[in-house]
Amino acid sequence: MGAGTGGAGGGDAGGELRLERPGLPGGRGAPAAGRSGGPPARGPVAVSRPRRADRRGRPRRFARRGRRGERPGPLRTGAPGGDPGSSVAPGERRGPADRPRRNLCRGAAVTAFLDERSSLPYCPGCGHSHVLRALDAAIQRSGVEPRSVVLVTDIGCVGLADRLFPSLHTVHALHGRAAAVACGMQVYAAGAGAAPVKPIVLVGDGGATIGLLHLVHAAQLDADVTVLVHNNLVYGMTGGQHSGFTPEGLPTTTTPGGNPVPPIDLAGVLAAAGAGYFARSRVPAKELPDRLAAAIARPGFACVELLELCPTFAARVGGVTGKDLGRLAEERGGEGVIFDRPPRRGTMRAQAPPPAPLENPLEPHPSWSALGRTVRVAIGGRAGEGVQSAARLAAAAAALAGLWVAVRTDNPVTQGTGFSLAELALSPDRGEAAVPGSPDLVIAIAPEGMAALGERGWLGEGSPAARTIIDEELPGGDGLVAEREPLVRRFGRRGAALGALALASARGGWFVPDAWRAAAERLPGSRRSGAERVLEEVFGPEGGA
């Protein structure tokens, strides 16, 4: 590997360029890896000098590409600089994942799991396409039951993979949280005695940076999860920003002078967390399907770091080439299995306690309700005065009466101040019990709730509600037609919402008072006694409004 200095994209001479930063270890003036006979532990990454650059200093090879988002056709129509019709760029070797495989649908390019009837949604030359084809083969070779596989995709370009595997279970997670979602599946499967699942997490280096602790926790748990970290050295989908795994010295859109921070040692971090298995591979590589299959087949936590090329950002901005990926792999400990340890305490399934029976399950009494229509209620009051608790108690009573029910609540992020809203939908028809929709009945307990209901267009002129009830102390307003009731005076501030809903249920024939009482019996301590006082005020001690 040659060594020298210069700008990332400047010059037109051949050879290679070592990116250096003055004043940091391995920067200008520090011994170069090539001269010292071995790469420094935290030295700068060496990237090849682009042979030609455009007027803006971008490597010529990538400068003529369309803008990101104008993604040309499928990889098989021709890799950049390669043979027309080939997905393999010059210098790249064909691997099993590149070969056409059997079609399950006659005349259509459908492999066993990966659906390529339309082009893969990645930029030409993107490593993700190679990985997904290899993953398709790996699932077949691993011997796992396909119905147990759940692809858990993270945010980012690789997250587009879930719709490409239509015959597998897929879940799309929040950015960085895919490993946590996969662990949650295993906790549920183990605790509930459900059928075994095999989550395979597809996460980029950006997601792995954001959710690094989720990877650590999965390793600590030895969760039966396979994590594929698609490390293309930058955040791709969001514009080529540097990640925690960007090599030191590499120019990115957020570090145009070179990344000043050394990359996270993923293998080292996971080894310290007790991970059982870690492998690394460049992409593409002919061994890739087998490397992925070995990780998937292994019980317990397994991680594979995939060093990929993002042509649109890492290559165009940073000048990274396929050869650089090989060099990076060597600097990080080589390719193949880095460590493979026996399970520490067995898999999470073996550790999980047997499922506990549900305490006090709801047992519906369909005879408690003769409701023949859907009822939608919106109730608003002041935070901390029991509005949402009252709606939940009404929902429990409705469920005990055999109705379908949904509740949606809202309040400011401050929780303890401002308004508190609840929407409630009750119906004998499951499909109708969805909260979104115009309320038939609107109830306002306090000024804060009244304002919030008004902002939603549910109070005053134009309100969809057939009936509006407000506390007697609340002011009127333009076009407001409402019945005034002494709700706070009769039930107190903390009981007014429950009193209003109980009165509405009695007048509207939602369900019998025993449904309310049975729901209140399930409340803990003081909440139960408070609710029972209000219900007695409405229905009397013997039942009946």
Segment near ligand SF4 (CB under 6 A); pick from 103-111, 230-238, 375-383, 517-525 = 230-238
DSSP state of 330: H
Give DSSP secondary structure letters for 402-462. T-EEEEEEE--TTSSSSEEEEEEEEESSGGG--S-S--SEEEE-SHHHHHHHHHTT-SSTT
Burial class (CB in 10 A: 0-12, 13-18, 19+), 434: middle
Token match 């059928």: residue? 195
Binder among 232, 246, 252, 463 for ligand SF4 (CB under 6 A): 232
Distance between alpha carbon 183 and the CA centroid of its chain, in Å? 13
Which of 108, 115, 61, 537 shows the shortest CA–CA distance to 315? 61
The CB-of-238 to ligand SF4 minimum distance in angstroms stands at 9
The CB-of-78 to ligand SF4 minimum distance in angstroms stands at 16
- Evaluate whether 44 touches 20 at the Cβ level (below 8 Å): yes
Q: Could you say whether residue 128 binds ligand SF4 (CB under 6 A)? A: yes
The CB-of-205 to ligand SF4 minimum distance in angstroms stands at 10
Query: Which residues from 9-68 bind ligand SF4, rule CB under 6 A?
Result: 68
The CB-of-233 to ligand SF4 minimum distance in angstroms stands at 10
The CB-of-165 to ligand SF4 minimum distance in angstroms stands at 17
Q: Specify the DSSP element, H or E, that contains 289.
A: helix 288-297
Which of 377, 413, 355, 389 shows the shortest CA–CA distance to 505? 377
Q: Amino acid identity of 318?
A: G
Segment near ligand SF4 (CB under 6 A); pick from 229-237, 296-304, 488-496, 510-518 = 229-237
Q: Could you say whether residue 177 binds ligand SF4 (CB under 6 A)? A: no
Q: Amino acid identity of 500?
A: A
Binder among 62, 122, 245, 278 for ligand SF4 (CB under 6 A): 122
Q: Could you say whether residue 236 binds ligand SF4 (CB under 6 A)? A: yes
Q: Could you say whether residue 126 binds ligand SF4 (CB under 6 A)? A: yes
Separation of alpha carbons 220 and 534, rounded Å: 50
The CB-of-122 to ligand SF4 minimum distance in angstroms stands at 4
Segment near ligand SF4 (CB under 6 A); pick from 232-240, 381-389, 436-444, 519-527 = 232-240
Closer residue to ligand SF4, CB minimum distance, 128 or 280: 128
Mapping DSSP onto H, E and C, the string for 467-504 reads EEEEECCCCCCCCCCCEEECHHHHHCCCCHHHHHHHHH
Query: Which residues from 405-444 bind ligand SF4, rule CB under 6 A?
Result: none
Q: Could you say whether residue 207 binds ligand SF4 (CB under 6 A)? A: no
Report in angstroms the alpha-carbon separations of 490 from 494, 503, 522, 541: 11, 12, 24, 17
Closer residue to ligand SF4, CB minimum distance, 285 or 534: 285
The CB-of-133 to ligand SF4 minimum distance in angstroms stands at 14
The CB-of-311 to ligand SF4 minimum distance in angstroms stands at 5
Number of residues written out for the chain: 545
The CB-of-230 to ligand SF4 minimum distance in angstroms stands at 8
Token match 């391995």: residue? 26
Closer residue to ligand SF4, CB minimum distance, 211 or 311: 311
The CB-of-21 to ligand SF4 minimum distance in angstroms stands at 25
The CB-of-7 to ligand SF4 minimum distance in angstroms stands at 23
Query: Minimal CB distance to ligand SF4: which residue?
Result: 236
Report in angstroms the alpha-carbon separations of 431 from 162, 424, 426, 435, 440: 28, 15, 11, 11, 18
Site string for ligand SF4, 280-319 (x = CB under 6 A): ------------------------------xxxx------
Binder among 19, 114, 120, 123 for ligand SF4 (CB under 6 A): 123
The CB-of-124 to ligand SF4 minimum distance in angstroms stands at 8
- The residues with which 485 forms a beta bridge, in sequence order, are 471
- The residues with which 366 forms a beta bridge, in sequence order, are none
Closer residue to ligand SF4, CB minimum distance, 314 or 469: 314
Size of the site for ligand SF4 (CB under 6 A): 13
Cβ within 8 Å of residue 304, ≥6 positions away: 226, 227, 228, 229, 278, 279, 280, 281, 291, 292, 295
Separation of alpha carbons 145 and 63, rounded Å: 45
Which spans of this chain sit near ligand SF4 (rule: CB under 6 A)?
Answer: 68, 122-123, 126, 128, 157, 232, 236-237, 310-313
